[in-house]
A and B are shown apart, each in its own frame.
Chain A
């Protein structure tokens, strides 16, 4: 069972929901939370546990072999990402820009650009009780999130059994990283706010999910602020609203300190329960 939590843009409470929901669910069902917001992973600020495993993650980049190179310049010509250039009698590779397509390496007539592994980030796996937490983080300067997301998902699939609930905290937006993060999920929870910004971004996220033909539902965060346009939109479009997390300054304060919210605010716990029931029901159905 794989669930992805996503939102049209950052700052709608995606991390708040991911951390609170996973901590709550883990109280009665084994669960792993995976932070795929690899450029800015924040879930770790809220979740503490024992470090079980840590590994560096790598991507493939070409490295220049000066002795074999005849300076023909073909590599520079074939690289569509401008990540290898010829500077005088030198070939320079820009690892951050490289997409690892192998074109320069395999087309080089003199085998002067072999592909090697370069570190792009780190993956860490923590555990407390039946709650596991996996986080990946891109190194500063690395620009491609997608390969790290793909590797992290592969690690989680390989490490955890099928019947554990896997909760993916996706990066914000509607671009490639989100698509990668939601690709294999059984359900996507879209988090939004009942404001014009929230509605606008929700519509984009819904369009993306429909294009990908994904099953999705909505959680409204900061309910009570703004207006009812998000609810009206969801009703009109036949989109299921799983829960409404209340608007409350206390929540913002708890968040600012890195504390979990539902343990102190019963209303939030009640809403999380609704989501939990939905997920566990769905899990039973998926199994059948």
Chain B
């Protein structure tokens, strides 16, 4: 499984970014390889409107199976993500990525 996290940093100690569209980084954890990679999404700061679809597009290209985030994607982002046949978990806004992963494993996050 490849799991994507919206995060504020580039490793699994980083705090989660509770936002989807304007998340600073997308951190990908590949369970098979036990390896983290990251995507710098900070360019989205420059977008006045429509940050959601833009981030969804980036996420799409990273091909994760699961997305773990904070509040959950808003309207436009949600529409775009529907195309990605991706399982989304929310409620991990105030944790580190490690904690969010553990919470997901223990079934403590909300499935969208």
Contacts and interface: CB of A to CB of B under 8 A. Distances in A.
A/B contact in complex, CB under 8 angstroms: yes
Interface of A: 81-83, 85-88, 90, 92, 94, 96-97, 141, 143
Nearest to A98: B50
Given A86-B57, A88-B60, A96-B75, 11 more contacts: A81-B49, A85-B53, A87-B56, A87-B57, A92-B53, A94-B53, A94-B76, A94-B80, A97-B50, A97-B76, A143-B49
Contacts of A97: 49-50, 53, 76
A97 B74 CA distance: 14
Interface residues of B, number: 15
Secondary structure of the B contact surface, majority rule: helix
B54 interface: yes
B81 to A, nearest CB: 9
A104 to B, nearest CB: 14
Query: Nearest 10 CB-CB pairs, A to B?
Result: A82-B50, A97-B50, A85-B57, A87-B60, A87-B83, A82-B54, A94-B76, A85-B53, A94-B53, A97-B49
Contacts of A86: 57
A92 B49 contact: no
Contacts of A85: 53-54, 56-57, 80
30 contacts: A81-B49, A82-B47, A82-B49, A82-B50, A82-B51, A82-B53, A82-B54, A83-B50, A83-B53, A85-B54, A85-B56, A85-B57, A85-B80, A86-B57, A87-B56, A87-B57, A87-B60, A88-B60, A88-B83, A92-B53, A92-B79, A92-B83, A94-B50, A94-B76, A94-B79, A94-B80, A97-B50, A97-B53, A97-B76, A143-B49
